[in-house]
Amino acid sequence: MSMFCYQCEETVNNKGCTIQGVCGKTHDVADLQDLLIYILKGISYYSNKSRELGIHDDEVSSFVIKGLFTTITNVNFDNERLFQLIKESLRMRDRIKFTFIGAYKEKYSKDFTENIPDAASWDTKSDTDIDEFISKGKEVGVLSEANEDIRSLKELIIYGLKGLAAYTDHAFILGEKNDDICAFVEKALATTLRTDLSVDELVGVVMETGKFSVTAMEILDKANTTRYGKQEITEAFTGTKEGPGILISGHDLLDLEEILKQTEDQGINIYTHGEMLPALAYPELKKYKHLIGNYGTAWWNQQKEFEDFNGAIVMTTNCIQKPKSSYKERIFTTGLVAWPEVKHIEDRKNGDQKDFTPVIEKALSLGGLKENAGKKLMIGFSHHTVLSLADKIVEAVKSGAIKRFVVMSGCDGRHKDRNYFTQIAQDLPKDNVILTSGCAKYRYNSLDLGDIGGIPRVLDAGQCNDSYSWAVVALKLKEVFAVDDINDLPISFDIAWYEQKAVTVLLALLYLGFKQIRLGPNLPAFLSTNVLNLLVEKFDIKKISTVENDLNDIAQGK
């Protein structure tokens, strides 16, 4: 076994990637990511202790958030960047360690003598030797926890934290800071180093991860709407216009905004891809006339779609796949995304914008795209929009015109069995409304599923983090219909998962008390039999079944 990773839905045989990742992650990258997570735990050990003394360090906390985000599926595939990041993590750990040791001595007039976990004390012998890091990574990876159930719960926490960190990072970038989230992340990471915790105690941390997942989605929602306004119902164009183009993928709206500003009046058309589609519904982004529309579908189609897009491409967050030689020269990464030998647009310095000049020059040099008609996609149904239609929706529910809402949020992926979600969308009774968000929607958002009295049968709230909207809407419906239990509402869940942000969304839903969630195509490989039984017992969670069975269950209110 040269590596071990089972954090995403496409892991080999739904057990684990052991030679190299299905995602394209080499075993070296996997080991380096394992070491990075380990050092983040060590940082958190000191950070958490410092917080107990009333001290925290914002820079260290932001580093932990970015470090977690870096290890999400399909973000960073670059050994060299990870090597530098681990060295930086050791510096950050020293920094918070000295702060803590000094503060401790000052408070108690004695030295701190507690047994320090290896994650907080291990150091490199030579900081030029990547192999030393790789072999340490092998030693401290997922399987270093021998107890299968404890490992399962700890990894469930860590994967939840990764997604939560991604949302938090996006919010922080837009100026929406929240130290409570950082304090929790550090506490939870430090907890995963403990060897004395029971299953029940770890389940408690899992639930708390759900609670802070809600907070992270909430602050990101606030950050997005404060800067870009509330989403508006928008007909998104999905064709192409003649002329040079830039395609922006991923989740980072600020990157998109800066590209829009830097390309104004340059004759370049800007297109969204994958999870960037909802950007077309925000007033402060759609006001740019050269933001033309959306090109392509979900991340896993990118090799074909990017090859066909004769323009420059920018990956702002996950999910990048191995770039084909046909477009390797015209794809760029930025932020935490990295692929070896792919040009990287460096971070903002001193509050300036990123410099997207290389992307712009590349787009202008390529000759451009041809005119191509495309159909329109209806987007912009965040909680603000949906609640503004509340009277109409409540009336439709009361009259029986809408019988049920089916939340089908989440991720898309390449497995053929994900056709299940297309079939469910097609075969649901015509009085059911699909609530979606995340890239899962590409399985059905171009089908003509019609509307119910002017309410489209697919309501798209936006990116995966906008699943938050469905929680807000459900809580509103609970109030309007005066039901005691949120599970008494006519809402079913059919969630598609792939990477760790979907784990975060799932934990948020569980924290909010939603039960009978169907999840698929596979249940996470990192859930041990006992942990899965526990989730089934507590939340009645289940794997998606056949289309026929699940439609039957949905019809019976499950």
Number of neighbours of residue 215 by Cβ within 10 angstroms: 19
Distances (CA, A) of 187 to 45, 46, 66, 208, 277: 8, 10, 16, 11, 35
Q: With contact defined as beta carbons under 8 Å apart, do 409 and 474 qualify?
A: no
CB of 151 to ligand SF4, least distance (A): 15
Using CB under 6 A, pick the residue from 203, 360, 439, 554 that binds ligand SF3.
439
Closest to ligand SF4 by CB, 2 or 426: 2
Residue 17 interacts with which of ligand SF3, ligand SF4, none, CB < 5 to 8 Å by class: ligand SF4
Residue 10 interacts with which of ligand SF3, ligand SF4, none, CB < 5 to 8 Å by class: ligand SF4
Q: With contact defined as beta carbons under 8 Å apart, do 333 and 356 qualify?
A: no
Q: With contact defined as beta carbons under 8 Å apart, do 259 and 359 qualify?
A: yes
Q: Is the dihedral of CA 502, 89, 182, 101 positive or negative?
A: positive
Closest to ligand SF3 by CB, 93 or 383: 383
CB of 525 to ligand SF4, least distance (A): 8
Query: Distance between CA 336 and CA 316 in Å, rounded?
Result: 8
> Is 223 a binder of ligand SF3 (CB under 6 A)?
no
Residue nearest to ligand SF4 (CB): 21
CB of 496 to ligand SF3, least distance (A): 9
Helices (H), 109-264: 118-121, 130-140, 148-173, 179-191, 199-228, 253-262
CB of 11 to ligand SF4, least distance (A): 4
CB of 220 to ligand SF3, least distance (A): 12
> Is 299 a binder of ligand SF3 (CB under 6 A)?
yes
> Is 411 a binder of ligand SF3 (CB under 6 A)?
yes
**Cβ-based burial of 348 (10 A; exposed 0-12, middle 13-18, buried ≥19):** middle
With CB under 6 A as the rule, give the number of residues binding ligand SF3: 14
Closest to ligand SF3 by CB, 137 or 274: 274
Closest to ligand SF3 by CB, 48 or 238: 238
Query: Distance between CA 369 and CA 361 in Å, rounded?
Result: 15
Residue 7 interacts with which of ligand SF4, ligand SF3, none, CB < 5 to 8 Å by class: ligand SF4
Residues near ligand SF4 (CB under 6 A) are 5-8, 10-11, 17, 21-23, 25, 30, 73
Beta-carbon contacts of residue 30 (< 8 Å; ≥ 6 apart): 3, 4, 5, 17, 20, 21, 137, 141
Using CB under 6 A, pick the residue from 502, 506, 507, 531 that binds ligand SF3.
502
Closest to ligand SF3 by CB, 433 or 496: 496
Number of neighbours of residue 87 by Cβ within 10 angstroms: 16
Using CB under 6 A, pick the residue from 319, 406, 428, 471 that binds ligand SF3.
319
Omega before 17 cis (within 30°)?
no
Query: Distance between CA 355 and CA 468 in Å, rounded?
Result: 32
Q: With contact defined as beta carbons under 8 Å apart, do 387 and 476 qualify?
A: yes
Residue 464 interacts with which of ligand SF4, ligand SF3, none, CB < 5 to 8 Å by class: ligand SF3
The contact set with ligand SF3 (CB under 6 A) reads 274-275, 299, 318-319, 411, 438-439, 463-464, 498-499, 501-502
